[in-house]
Structure 1
Amino acid sequence: MTDHATRVIVLDVVGLQPDHVTEATAPNLTGVLEGVNALKPPFPALTVPVQTTLTTGQSPGEHGDVSSGEYDRETDEAAFWERDRADRHRLWETARTAGTTTGALFFQHLIGTDADIAVTPSPIEDEDNNLLEMDCWTNPDDLYETLRAEYGHFPLHRYWGPAADEHSSRWILDAASEAIDRVDPDLLWVYVPHLDYAGLRHGPGEELQAAVSTIDDCLGEFLDVLRASKRWNETVVNVVSEYGFHDVDTPVFPNRALRENGLLAVTDDGKGTAVDVPNSAAFAMVDHQVAHVYVDDRSPAVRRTLESLDGVETVLGKVGQAERNIDHPNTGDFVLVAEPDAWFQYYWWDDPEDAPPYATDMDIHAKPGFDPCELFGGTEGLVSLDPTKVGGSHGRSDVYGVYGLGGPMAPETSADGVVDARAVAPTITELLGITDSIPMSFSHPPVTECE
């Protein structure tokens, strides 16, 4: 037997917090893990920045994913969930240079990855973003046909939106079981989204605790598949969480404030208003408890306007951004950080009649900011325009996730207390014994001691 694992499974149970992993709440996780450490996410603690940090071992200031959206300064457009991964090579891509077989399921920006097995939603839509047919991009190409025949179409409406629940996570874990059966990669990353829904809807209370028990049951079924597989004795299971949740009750509207002060311009086509970014002094691309503000040469007026907003804890300029490892060309001229009980909504209107058509629709790519109101049904459309319904948020990086190791080949760790998110990628390469064989450099040491 080798002195390192030959198979590493990474379960990204987003929203899982250290106090969730108890025998009463999560018996299947506690049954496989040797212990759990708190995991400190990078700033900002948002989906894409954290995922890229976990899979590259770099901070957002290094890898450039500073939000789940991206603002293009040349076209004056903000787009969410559509960024090309470009030269951001994640561990399931770089590990293949060492002969490691890899897989990744439902992480962001997977289309085009060369992982040996991959699945990510890619629905077929018309020019108005209406769903024509559910589909997934997969590697190999025929994998979705197999998954659809066995488990039905991926339940996209249960993955996000008012009907989001555990059914999407269960389908993803079934796909992970298929990945084990079909390829059995040496490294398999699996994104498990269920806790995000309860955390955003209700905050870190009883509903989230109940959701932990629900997803633990789903994870237990997948862990049974692993235990029954031929390589179980060669396996380390990593359980990681991207962030925890704050209770929130204060939505903040930076674009509305900019408009009221003559710093943000809009157009109106009779169907609702739209931001006229080229003619605006500033525009805020919001993402939960963080907002990137892009400005012209009237930045002192912009800063004064933003600093006066209730719910804004701080406005980061370049010095503050460097202190938080987010200084990158993609970062806004200012970065807003919300108070613990506040979060940012992208709205620039007061009257619902002025809202653009996509505001009440499930249209995540059209909205120039993240919209948790999509988790609630609306009265004027599919989704709500009432931001007071949102009960939880994240992004400040001061509520920790978890990191735990388990399985037959799990080593003792040197971690004591809090694990830096940048330590996850180098820990996995140490577990697989490939650190010296891949073209990656890490700025943080691993948490393991492999002998």
Structure 2
Amino acid sequence: GVEVVLLSEYGISKVRQPVHLNRIFREKGWIQIKNELGLELLDAGASRAFAVADHQVAHVYVRDESIRKEVRGVVESTEGVAEVRENWFGEGIGGQRGGDFVAVSAPGAWFTYYYWMDDGLAPDFARTVDIHRKPGYDPAELHLDPALSLPRLKVAAFLLRKKLGLRALLRVIPLDASLVRGSHGRDEVPEDEQPVLVGPGGSSVTSAEGVFGYLKSRCLG
């Protein structure tokens, strides 16, 4: 009486080109930085424009309407950007917190959240796993910094300090975006890089909406 359905959330595409939109915006003078204890924090509220990276998609927020057209033009002309869309989700779908427009990476490219120009000024959380303070997803969190000697020993020392009730940061995440070799988010990818749905019924589902309908029909009848 049990039916098994195999479903992957997404497929992974090979990438080799990181795109640093916030660094480009900073060079244009649109990014506002706060200095805290000698390190740099992005001040989104005071920035004229900034980007929130999400794998191969980046939401671009423009707080100064006078530069909106210029910002879009800069994003469109950036190497590694395939297109810029006003409505990523489709007509009537989306949320008020989405970007003013959305950048979609070219095949083989992906977006970082990096905004600092000097790794020595990167915020303390940049070298840690910290999904809440980083203004965008950071796939480098899946790596240990290859420049570190004995990284596993550093992890063990961190766990010991935590067990003793001491405060500590586990700084083992690299700042080298070139280490990332896989990403996702583009809605136009080769068939062998698309999500997989395997289940009874011979379904030929080809959209996210169709997946929900299929699962509902199999689970609820």
Q: Same fold (TM over 0.5)?
A: yes
Q: 2:196 aligns to what SS in structure 1?
A: strand
Q: 2:11 aligns to what SS in structure 1?
A: coil
In structure 1, give the amino acid aligned to 2:48: A
CA separation in 1, counterparts of 2:49 and 2:12? 29
Alignment match, 1:120: none
Change (3 A) 1:278 1:315: same
> TM-score, structure 2 length as denominator?
0.80
In structure 2, give the amino acid aligned to 1:354: L
Q: How far is the alpha carbon of 1:317 from its aligned partner?
A: 1.6
Alignment match, 2:177: 387
Q: How far is the alpha carbon of 1:430 from its aligned partner?
A: 2.2
Q: Structure 1: any 5+ residue segments left out of the alignment?
A: 1-233, 435-451
1:237 equivalent to 2:4? Answer yes
1:355 equivalent to 2:122? Answer yes
Cα deviation digits, residues 135-178 of structure 1 (max 9, x gap): xxxxxxxxxxxxxxxxxxxxxxxxxxxxxxxxxxxxxxxxxxxx
Alignment match, 1:82: none
Alignment match, 1:301: 70
Q: How far is the alpha carbon of 1:421 from its aligned partner?
A: 2.3
Cα deviation digits, residues 218-257 of structure 1 (max 9, x gap): xxxxxxxxxxxxxxxx111110011112111100001101
Paired residues for 1:35-114 under 5 Å: none
Alignment match, 1:400: 194
The count of aligned residue pairs is: 192
1:371 to 133, 138, 143: 138
The answer as to whether partners of 1:261 and 1:305 remain within 8 angstroms in 2 is no
Change (3 A) 1:265 1:426: same
The answer as to whether partners of 1:263 and 1:302 remain within 8 angstroms in 2 is no
In structure 2, give the amino acid aligned to 1:391: R
CA separation in 1, counterparts of 2:61 and 2:109? 21
Change (3 A) 1:251 1:335: same
CA separation in 2, counterparts of 1:324 and 1:252? 28
Alignment match, 2:208: 421
Paired residues for 1:310-321 under 5 Å: 310-318=79-87, 321=88
Change (3 A) 1:238 1:360: same
The answer as to whether partners of 1:358 and 1:367 remain within 8 angstroms in 2 is yes
Change (3 A) 1:317 1:424: closer
Change (3 A) 1:337 1:421: same
Alignment match, 1:199: none
Q: How far is the alpha carbon of 1:308 from its aligned partner?
A: 2.1
CA separation in 1, counterparts of 2:206 and 2:136? 30
Cα deviation digits, residues 238-286 of structure 1 (max 9, x gap): 1001111211110000110111001111111233111112221111110
The answer as to whether partners of 1:253 and 1:345 remain within 8 angstroms in 2 is yes
Q: Structure 2: any 5+ residue segments left out of the alignment?
A: 149-170
Q: How far is the alpha carbon of 1:312 from its aligned partner?
A: 0.6
The answer as to whether partners of 1:403 and 1:419 remain within 8 angstroms in 2 is no
In structure 2, give the amino acid aligned to 1:243: Y
CA separation in 2, counterparts of 1:385 and 1:322? 31
CA separation in 1, counterparts of 2:125 and 2:55? 19
Change (3 A) 1:288 1:433: closer
Alignment match, 1:431: 218
CA separation in 2, counterparts of 1:291 and 1:360? 21
CA separation in 1, counterparts of 2:41 and 2:77? 24
Change (3 A) 1:391 1:322: closer
CA separation in 2, counterparts of 1:433 and 1:420? 20
Question: What is the Cα-based RMSD across aligned positions, in Å?
Answer: 1.9
In structure 2, give the amino acid aligned to 1:314: E
Rg larger in 1 or in 2? 1
Change (3 A) 1:348 1:430: same
CA separation in 2, counterparts of 1:307 and 1:248? 19
Change (3 A) 1:433 1:376: closer
Percent identity over paired residues: 38
The answer as to whether partners of 1:252 and 1:343 remain within 8 angstroms in 2 is yes
1:254 equivalent to 2:21? Answer yes
